[in-house]
Amino acid sequence: MMSGAAVTAIRQRAFASALAMGTLLALDVAGAAFAAEINVYSYRQEFLTKPFIERFERDTGTKVNTVFIRRGLLERLKAEGANSPADIVLTADEIRLHELAEHHLLRAITSPVLDRNIPRQYHGTGGLWYGLTTRARVIYFAKSRVAPEQLSTYEDLTDPKWRGRICTRSGYHIYQLSLLASLIAHNGEEAAETWLRGVKANLARRPQGNDRAQVRAIKEGVCDIALGNTYYMGLMKADPKQRVWADAVAIFFPNQEHRGAHVNISGVAVTRSAKNLAGAVKFVEYLSSEDAQRLYAEQNFEYPVKPGVPWHDEVASWGRFKADDKNLVEFARFQASAVKIVDRVGYDD
């Protein structure tokens, strides 16, 4: 029987041998364990992402770790750099995705699956990001005081007939900036500034609150029309306290005889620092599938980007519409110009 000293010596030699000769094997094992999970930084709340994440985990055996980040995603990824644990980012606007791309924080991916499932206007440059769901920026109007025949385009909101009758949220909010950037892309910066001045002249009150607050203001008679995203109609109808606001209004899709209504996206991207690239690509591809598209869109009353995926019944009740098919990258590029216009106009003052 060996002495304790002999056993210790053997263990020490074995450990040294593992360090000298078995490092690659150890790394392979660790890599396999790491590859069994992906890390997601998400602007989108858990109730929106949980259903499709659970389905992905069940179907693939890949664990998805999610960190909800309400603000500061850009700054966090910049600070973490190559050491960031994030493989994936989920956001609620193309401008945020464009900012991440501009700071070289995203990794371009290409995939026949994504090319097949996601229309080109919802692709970031070179595959740096992809849209997953859309929402239209529409006109909410008081059913008792406005006839839909009185409405037509975003541009028409400057007409004096709307003097003192419009409500919006802050001009600096990302939803408003996205719409203004689209107007710059289509009509030029000078025309977009003239438009914003015209809308400001027609405001019923200083810009304030969120999109739901604008609908409430319509219900309370503060204004007759407001700009808002479509999905808020579904969210308000699902809330017993807010349903009365939703029942007072209807949705109008602008510019249907022209370029179509402005749409924004929720989107996904792979980070430049992604450690589990294969798992990240698999996750993005899954999000473009019919199953995931339906789950994701229904949670927030949004539109799936994959053609042919059925809409939620509530969403379908708002009617079919023509969406602006210009690539969203073209709008995101004008974000800085949009901010400057809001400054010059003093829109929130």
Domain limits, CATH 3.40.190.10, in the chain:
12-134+265-312, 135-262+324-345
* Both tokens assigned to 150: 């009185």
Lowest-confidence pick of 301-305, 307-311, 325-329: 325-329
Lowest-confidence pick of 26-40, 83-97, 119-133, 305-319: 26-40
pLDDT at 48: 77
Is a pLDDT exceeding 70 seen at residue 151? yes
Residues 113 and 132: their CA atoms lie apart, in Å, by: 13
- pTM given for the model: 0.86
Separation in Å, CA 182 to CA 90, 144, 177, 309, 324? 22, 30, 9, 26, 9
Is a pLDDT exceeding 80 seen at residue 254? yes
| Residues 111 and 104 sit within 8 Å (Cβ to Cβ) | no
**Residue 70: pLDDT band with limits 50, 70, 90:** confident
**Residue 164: pLDDT band with limits 50, 70, 90:** very high
pLDDT at 4: 43
% of the chain surpassing 90 pLDDT: 82
**84-99 pLDDT per residue, tens:** 999 999 998 888 999 9
Phi, psi of 306 (to 5 degrees): -70, 120
What is the pLDDT of the chain when averaged over all its residues?
89
Please state the rounded mean pLDDT for residues 193-216: 98
CATH 3.40.190.10 fits 12-134+265-312, yes or no: yes
pLDDT at 24: 29
**Residue 277: pLDDT band with limits 50, 70, 90:** very high
Reported CATH class of domain 135-262+324-345? alpha beta
Please state the rounded mean pLDDT for residues 151-178: 97
* Both tokens assigned to 97: 């995705």
**9-61 pLDDT per residue, tens:** 433 343 233 333 332 223 233 333 344 799 999 988 777 788 889 999 999 99
* Both tokens assigned to 301: 């009353």
E runs forming strands in the chain:
37-42, 63-68, 88-91, 106-107, 130-142, 166-167, 225-229, 249-252, 263-271, 303-304
Is a pLDDT exceeding 50 seen at residue 100? yes
